[in-house]
C-alpha cells in the first residue's frame, strides 16, 4: 500500500457540498495530502465544477494530490483503495419532486423523504441497483482490501443490501447525525461539546444516546428539565417530545424523525404541525436554494471573490422560496469559504487516515448486525461505535437496547428489509408490502390508496428503475 500512491475515488462528486467537505478533510492530513483523488459524476458539467473545487481546496491547503475527473465510473474506481459515494439517482428533478408530489395527491405529506416513508422506499429502489452495479465494478478493478464508504440515503437499506450482496467489498455507512446532535445538545446545555462523553446505538436516523455525561454526571435529567420548561429550540420539539415519551434522545433531526413514526404528521391535523413546528416539504425547499445558488457558485469558481451571498438572499426572497438558515449557510460557505478550509465532522477522512496510518480512532458507522445489538434482527443495518485502525473498521458490541427503543426501531427495520428483498429477490410485490408497513404511510392511507399510489410512483420512476420493478 505504501509503495504506490494511495487512490481515493469520489463517486457522485457533483454533490459539491460533500465534495468540498470531504476533500478538505482528507487533504488536511499530511499523510493523505499527496494521494490521488479520482472524481466521478454522470453529469459532466457538475463534474468539471467539482474538479475546480478540488484544485482550489488543494491549493488552499498547500497539498499536492493528483486530481483526475472522469464520467467513466470504472476508470475512476480502478486501483482505488477507498471509494466514497454521494450519488442521488434521479436528482432533485424529476425524482425527488415526484416522490413528494404524487403522495401529496393522496394526502400523504413528507418533510425529507430520503430515509423511510414512501419517499425513502422509492429512493432505495432507484439507488440500490445502481450501487450494486458499482459494487461489481469495485470487485473487478479496485485495489486489494478496498472499502466502500457510503454517504447515500436511504442509508440503512443501502448498507444492508450491499453488505448482503458482497462479501469482498465491505460497505460502511456514514452519517453526521450523531456528531451534529451532540453539538446541538451541548449548545442547549451551555457546555462545550468536547467535555461531553456520549454513546449511541440503534439504526441510522433512529439511534439514541444511551449515555450523555460530563465528568461522570448524567446530563439526561438536565435535558428533561429543558423539555419540561419548554426551553428547547422551536425546531427541535419532536425530539424533545421523544425524550419525554421514551426516556432517551434520538440522534436524527426533528424534521427527519417526524416522518419515521405515525404520531406527528397526520392528514387534517395542522395543529400537530404547529405544536411541534414540523416543516412539510423541507427537502424540496433545500433543493430550491441550491438551484438558485448554482449560477453564483459557478461564477465564484471562474472568478474568485466575485460573488456575494447577499445577492443570493435577495434572489431567493424575490422568488418567495422558504429558506432554512443552515441551507443558506451551506451556500454561503461555498461562495465565501472555498479558500478557508475548516475540518468538518464527517467520519470519512478519519477512517481513511486511521486505516492508512494505523493511528486508532472511534467513529459511528452503519454496519451489518452480527451480534452487535441483541434485540434487533441479525443481519440488518445498525449504527454503532466502531474502532478504526490498520485492521479496518471494527464495530463494537452494544448488547440489548432498552426494549421500547428496539421495538420502535423494528417498525423501521421491517420496511428496510422489504425494500432490500424487493431488489435482491427482484420481487415487486414487496414494494407494496414495504409501503403498507411503513408507519407514516399506514397511519395516513388505506390499503387500496397505498397500492394505487405505489403503482403511480413506479410508473413515474420507470426510467430509473430496473425492469423487474416496472408495471
How would residue 1 be classed by pLDDT, with cut points 50, 70 and 90? Answer: very low
Structural domain boundaries enclosing 321: 282-336
Is the residue at 267 inside a domain?
Answer: no
Q: Which of 143, 173, 203 is the last residue of a domain?
A: 173
Q: Which of 149, 173, 197 is the last residue of a domain?
A: 173
How would residue 335 be classed by pLDDT, with cut points 50, 70 and 90? Answer: low
Q: Which residue in the list 45, 55, 176, 440 is annotated as catalytic?
A: 176
Which of 78, 229, 44, 58 lies closest to 146 in space, CA to CA? 78
Which of 115, 119, 111 lies closest to 152 in space, CA to CA? 115
Interval 338-370: pLDDT, tens: 666 788 999 999 999 999 999 999 999 999 999
Q: What is the pLDDT of residue 337?
A: 58
Average pLDDT over residues 211-226: 98
Q: What is the pLDDT of residue 302?
A: 82
Least confident span in 25-29, 130-134, 300-304, 396-400: 300-304
Is the residue at 305 inside a domain?
Answer: yes
Strands 392-395 and 197-203: unpaired
Average pLDDT over residues 71-78: 98
CB atoms within 10 A of CB 2: 6
For residue 145, the SS3 value is: coil
pTM: 0.96
Interval 87-110: pLDDT, tens: 999 999 999 999 999 999 999 999
Interval 19-29: pLDDT, tens: 999 999 999 99
> For 67-95, b where at least 16 C-beta lie within 10 A, e where not — what string?
bbbbeebeebbbbbbbbbbbbbbbbbeeb
CA-angle at 207, arms to 201 and 208, nearest 5°: 80
How would residue 325 be classed by pLDDT, with cut points 50, 70 and 90? Answer: low
Q: What is the pLDDT of residue 196?
A: 98
Interval 176-193: pLDDT, tens: 999 999 999 999 999 999
Average pLDDT over residues 231-258: 97
Question: Given a cut of 80, is residue 273 above it in pLDDT?
Answer: yes
Is the residue at 369 inside a domain?
Answer: no
Is the residue at 286 inside a domain?
Answer: yes
Is the residue at 258 inside a domain?
Answer: no
| 124, containing H or E segment | helix 117-141
Cα distance between residue 145 and residue 352, in whole Å: 12
Is the residue at 165 inside a domain?
Answer: yes
* 153 shares its domain with 298: no
Q: What is the pLDDT of residue 2?
A: 46
**Contact status, residue 154 vs residue 412, Cβ threshold 8 Å:** no
Percent of the chain with pLDDT over 90: 85
The pLDDT mean for the chain works out to 94
* 167 shares its domain with 287: no
Q: What is the pLDDT of residue 307?
A: 72
Cα distance between residue 8 and residue 372, in whole Å: 29
| 387, containing H or E segment | strand 381-389
* 296 shares its domain with 154: no
**Contact status, residue 283 vs residue 113, Cβ threshold 8 Å:** yes
Which of 193, 198, 222 lies closest to 210 in space, CA to CA? 198
Number of compact structural domains in the chain = 2
Q: What is the pLDDT of residue 329?
A: 60
Active-site annotation holds for 176: yes
**Contact status, residue 410 vs residue 378, Cβ threshold 8 Å:** no
Is the residue at 442 inside a domain?
Answer: no
* 157 shares its domain with 33: yes
| 362, containing H or E segment | strand 361-368
Interval 396-445: pLDDT, tens: 999 999 999 999 999 999 999 999 999 999 999 999 999 999 999 999 99
How would residue 289 be classed by pLDDT, with cut points 50, 70 and 90? Answer: confident
Is the residue at 125 inside a domain?
Answer: yes
In CATH, what number is assigned to the domain containing residue 86?
3.40.50.720
Q: What is the pLDDT of residue 317?
A: 77
Q: Which of 158, 173, 188 is the last residue of a domain?
A: 173
Average pLDDT over residues 52-79: 96
Q: How many residues does the chain have?
A: 471
Amino acid at each position: 500500500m505504501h509503495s504506490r500512491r494511495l487512490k481515493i475515488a469520489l463517486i457522485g462528486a457533483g454533490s459539491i457540498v460533500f465534495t468540498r467537505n470531504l476533500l478538505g478533510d482528507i487533504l488536511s492530513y499530511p499523510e493523505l495530502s499527496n494521494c490521488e483523488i479520482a472524481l466521478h459524476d454522470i453529469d459532466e458539467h457538475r463534474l468539471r465544477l467539482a474538479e475546480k473545487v478540488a484544485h482550489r481546496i488543494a491549493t488552499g491547503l498547500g497539498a499536492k494530490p493528483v486530481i483526475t475527473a472522469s464520467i467513466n465510473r470504472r476508470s475512476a474506481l480502478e486501483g482505488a483503495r477507498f471509494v466514497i459515494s454521494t450519488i442521488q439517482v434521479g436528482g432533485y428533478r424529476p425524482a425527488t419532486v415526484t416522490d413528494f408530489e404524487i403522495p401529496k395527491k393522496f394526502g400523504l405529506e413528507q418533510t425529507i423523504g430520503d430515509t423511510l416513508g414512501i419517499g425513502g422506499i422509492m429512493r432505495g429502489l432507484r439507488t440500490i441497483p445502481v450501487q450494486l452495479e458499482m459494487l461489481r465494478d469495485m470487485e473487478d478493478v479496485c485495489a486489494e482490501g478496498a472499502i466502500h464508504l457510503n454517504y447515500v440515503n436511504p442509508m440503512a437499506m443501502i448498507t444492508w443490501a450491499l453488505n448482503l450482496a458482497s462479501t469482498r467489498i465491505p460497505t460502511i455507512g456514514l452519517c453526521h447525525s450523531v456528531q451534529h446532535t451532540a453539538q446541538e445538545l451541548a449548545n442547549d446545555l451551555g457546555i462545550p461539546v468536547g467535555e461531553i462523553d456520549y454513546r449511541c446505538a440503534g439504526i441510522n436516523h433512529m439511534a439514541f444516546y444511551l449515555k450523555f455525561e460530563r465528568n461522570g454526571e448524567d446530563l439526561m435529567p438536565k435535558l428533561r428539565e429543558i423539555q419540561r420548561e419548554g426551553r428547547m429550540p422551536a425546531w427541535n420539539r419532536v425530539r424533545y417530545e421523544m425524550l419525554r415519551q421514551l426516556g432517551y434522545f434520538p440522534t436524527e433531526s426533528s424534521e427527519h424523525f417526524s416522518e419515521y413514526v405515525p404520531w406527528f404528521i397526520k392528514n387534517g391535523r395542522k395543529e400537530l404541525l404547529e405544536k411541534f413546528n414540523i416543516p412539510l416539504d423541507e427537502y424540496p425547499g433545500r433543493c430550491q436554494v441550491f438551484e438558485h445558488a448554482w449560477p453564483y457558485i459557478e461564477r465564484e469558481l471562474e472568478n474568485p471573490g466575485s460573488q456575494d451571498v447577499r445577492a443570493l438572499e435577495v434572489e431567493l426572497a424575490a422568488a418567495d422560496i422558504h429558506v432554512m438558515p443552515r441551507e443558506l449557510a451551506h451556500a454561503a460557505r461555498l461562495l465565501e469559504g472555498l479558500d478557508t478550509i475548516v475540518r468538518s465532522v464527517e467520519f470519512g477522512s478519519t477512517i481513511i487516515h486511521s486505516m492508512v496510518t494505523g493511528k486508532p480512532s472511534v467513529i459511528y458507522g452503519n454496519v451489518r448486525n452480527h451480534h452487535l445489538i441483541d434485540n434487533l434482527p441479525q443481519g440488518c443495518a445498525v449504527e454503532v461505535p466502531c474502532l478504526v485502525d490498520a485492521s479496518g473498521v471494527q464495530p463494537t458490541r452494544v448488547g440489548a437496547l432498552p426494549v421500547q427503543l428496539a421495538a420502535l426501531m423494528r417498525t423501521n427495520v421491517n420496511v428496510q428489509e422489504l425494500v432490500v428483498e424487493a431488489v435482491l429477490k427482484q420481487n415487486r410485490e414487496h414494494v407494496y408490502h414495504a409501503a403498507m408497513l411503513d408507519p407514516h404511510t399506514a397511519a395516513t392511507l388505506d390499503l387500496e390508496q397505498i397500492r394505487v399510489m405505489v403503482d403511480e410512483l413506479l410508473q413515474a420512476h420507470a426510467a430509473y428503475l430496473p425492469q423487474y420493478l416496472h408495471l
